[in-house]
Amino acid sequence: MVKERINEIKQSLPEDVKLVAVSKYHPASMIQEAYDGGQRIFGESHVQEMVQKYEALPKDIEWHFIGHLQTNKVKYIAPFVSLIHAVDSEHLLREIDKQAKRCQRIIPVLLEVHVAKEETKYGWRPDELLRFMESGAWQQYENVSIRGLMCMATNTDDECLIASEFERAHQLFQTVNDALPNNKWTECSWGMSDDYPIAVQHGSTMVRIGSLIFGERLQVLK
Ligand SMILES: *Cc1c(COP(=O)(O)O)cnc(C)c1O
């Protein structure tokens, strides 16, 4: 079942859009099933859970950390994480850089931009993010490689609002990229189970899909 759903989603995606299978709260056995079907990129949003799954599962899995990351937990995932999606402050970026240095790694990251209506969502304000990139301050963090942006749209049925939020993130991505002399950004991480077709129409290069692949998560754990 998991394999079939992954294949259906993959067929609906343009060839250059990557699928991050969001496996949070689902057991390692389901990840193994997806792995056996060829899926290699998995997304998790809790540090301890990701570490346990990393230890239990094949080593060629690319583990993406997609949730809000606390600075004091960066050290646990720094040795193996493939991409950290939701870097929402310079403080967190600095800590990732520090832990990456200790592991002698360069950790790829995305900056999370806040485009949704909800107050509660994390992320940089677009103007703050632009100023941070223009200032060049990011260049001092030599053990992180910023690859692009991540965002979450408002949780709503209003498809026009969702589209406008993804579009805003995409325009910011392009504005920054036009100004970067080299090391151009390549990744736009947006789109989840309910809104990924809209995300793909607005620049997404990476969709993060959980419930559509693995079914509903246990509410008690949410
Ligand atoms: C859980 C989660 C997803 C996946 O959500 P679904 O609606 O199950 O596809 C995507 N991105 C983030 C940041 C998440 O926390």
What's the 186 CA to ligand 1 centre distance in angstroms?
Answer: 21
With cut-offs at 50, 70 and 90, classify the pLDDT of residue 200.
very high
Amino acid 215: pLDDT: 92
Query: Alpha-carbon distance 37 to 7, whole Å?
Result: 9
Ligand 1 pocket mutation pick from 19, 23, 24, 45 by most atoms within 8 angstroms of CB: 45
Q: Looking only at Cα atoms, what is the longest distance across the chain?
A: 48
> 61-66 contacts: CB < 8 A, separation 24 or more?
61/31, 61/35, 64/20, 64/208, 66/20, 66/22, 66/150, 66/189, 66/208
Averaged pLDDT of the chain: 96
**Atom nearest to 208 CA in ligand 1:** 10
- Residue 62: exposure state from Cβ atoms within 10 A (0-12, 13-18, ≥19): middle
Tell me, in angstroms, the distance from the centre of ligand 1 to residue 139's CA.
30
Q: What is the pLDDT of residue 121?
A: 67
Q: Strands 41-44 and 18-22: what pairing?
A: parallel
Rounded CA-CA distance 150/88 in Å is 10
Domain residue limits, the chain? 2-214
| pLDDT tens by residue, 5-40 | 999 999 999 999 999 999 999 999 999 999 999 999
Please report the pLDDT score of residue 69 as a whole number. 98
- For residue 211, the CA-to-ligand 1 centroid distance in Å is 8
**Two tokens at 3?**
């394999």
Residue 217 has pLDDT above 90, yes or no: no
* pLDDT at residue 222 is higher than 60: no
Query: Rounded CA gap, 78 and 89, in Å?
Result: 17
- Quote the pLDDT of residue 119: 75
Question: What is this structure's pTM?
Answer: 0.96
189 lines ligand 1 (CB under 6 A): no
pLDDT in the model for residue 183: 86
pLDDT of residue 126: 96
pLDDT at 220: 52
Share of the chain above pLDDT 90, in %: 92
45 Cβ below 6 A of ligand 1: yes
Instruction: Tell me if 208 CB under 6 Å of ligand 1.
Output: yes
Residue nearest atom 15 of ligand 1, based on CA coordinates: 67
Q: How high is the pLDDT of residue 118?
A: 80
User: Residue 16 in contact with residue 206, Cβ under 8 Å?
Assistant: no
Q: What are the tens digits of pLDDT across the range 49-84?
A: 999 999 999 999 999 999 999 999 999 999 999 999
Q: Summarize the confidence of residues 189-197 as an average pLDDT.
A: 98
Say whether pLDDT at 221 is over 60: no
Give the 3-state secondary structure of residue 189. strand
Give the pLDDT confidence of 75-114 residue by residue, as tens digits: 999 999 999 999 999 999 999 999 999 999 999 999 999 9
**What is the CATH number assigned to the segment(s) 2-214?**
3.20.20.10
Q: Take residue 2 and report the two structure tokens written for it.
A: 């998991």
